[in-house]
């Protein structure tokens, strides 16, 4: 009989970055993937300077991933992920170095725009093309943005439905003009 050992839980520094701030926790889990598969819209932070800063912060809550109850904020992120887990596209984009997506922005008070985004493994944009209804397009990079929080949860099934091919993205990138101060 062969016994497979379950890795011992270890601490992972976890951030839910909502753009203008974030919530931080130490999560006791067996792997980074387990954290990402359990909580929506989080990232495991492994930057040594950031980890060192939080090592001495006694206010950062330590949470066991197997606990029946989660602290406020983390509880809703776990519930959101639990609702996604049985969908066939759950995690379809996870683990990739680069993903290209098309998202429609169609708010009542603004002109409709398609955002074509190049997304890294952390859910942050590395490049973006805004395509207006009239076909004009503007390209931008993190240097053009005030901040760059994760905009995609790569485990979320809805993200898989927005995927486009790299060739389509590159075609639009090549035709788009660079962002100017007037575009900001």
Which residue range(s) make up the domain with 132?
99-179
Any domain includes 94:
no
Residues 132 and 62 in one domain: no
* Three-state secondary structure call for residue 178: strand
Sequence-distant (6+) residues with CB within 8 A of 49 are none
Per-residue pLDDT of the chain (184 residues; tens, 9 = 90+): 566 677 889 999 999 998 788 999 999 999 999 999 999 999 999 999 999 999 988 999 999 999 999 999 999 999 999 999 999 999 999 999 999 999 998 776 678 899 999 999 999 999 999 999 999 999 999 999 988 889 999 999 999 999 999 999 999 999 999 998 888 7
Nearest to 130 by CA among 162, 104, 149: 104
Residues 167 and 112 in one domain: yes
Any domain includes 174:
yes
User: With a threshold of 0.85, does the pTM exceed it?
Assistant: yes
Q: Cβ distance 90 to 154 under 8 Å?
A: no
Q: How far, in Å, CA of 88 to CA of 13, rounded?
A: 29
Provide the number of structural domains found in the chain.
2
Any domain includes 161:
yes
Residues 18 and 79 in one domain: yes
Residues 75 and 132 in one domain: no
Residues 80 and 105 in one domain: no
Q: Cβ distance 140 to 130 under 8 Å?
A: yes
Any domain includes 172:
yes
């Amino acid at each position: 009989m062969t016994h497979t050992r379950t890795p011992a839980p270890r601490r992972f520094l976890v951030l839910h970055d909502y753009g203008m701030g974030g919530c931080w926790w130490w999560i006791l889990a067996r792997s980074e993937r387990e954290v990402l598969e359990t909580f929506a819209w989080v990232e495991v932070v492994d930057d040594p300077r950031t980890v060192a800063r939080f090592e001495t912060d006694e206010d950062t809550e330590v949470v066991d991933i197997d606990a029946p109850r989660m602290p406020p904020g983390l509880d809703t992120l776990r519930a959101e992920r639990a609702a996604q887990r049985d969908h066939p596209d759950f995690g379809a984009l996870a683990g990739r170095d680069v993903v290209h997506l098309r998202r429609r922005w169609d708010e009542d008070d603004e002109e409709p725009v398609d955002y074509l985004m190049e997304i890294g493994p952390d859910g942050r944009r590395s490049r973006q093309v805004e395509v207006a209804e009239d076909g004009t397009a503007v390209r931008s990079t993190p240097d053009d943005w005030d901040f760059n929080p994760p905009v995609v949860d790569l485990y979320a099934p809805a993200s898989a439905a927005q995927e486009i091919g790299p060739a389509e993205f590159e075609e639009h990138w090549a035709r788009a003009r660079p962002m100017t101060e007037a575009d900001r």
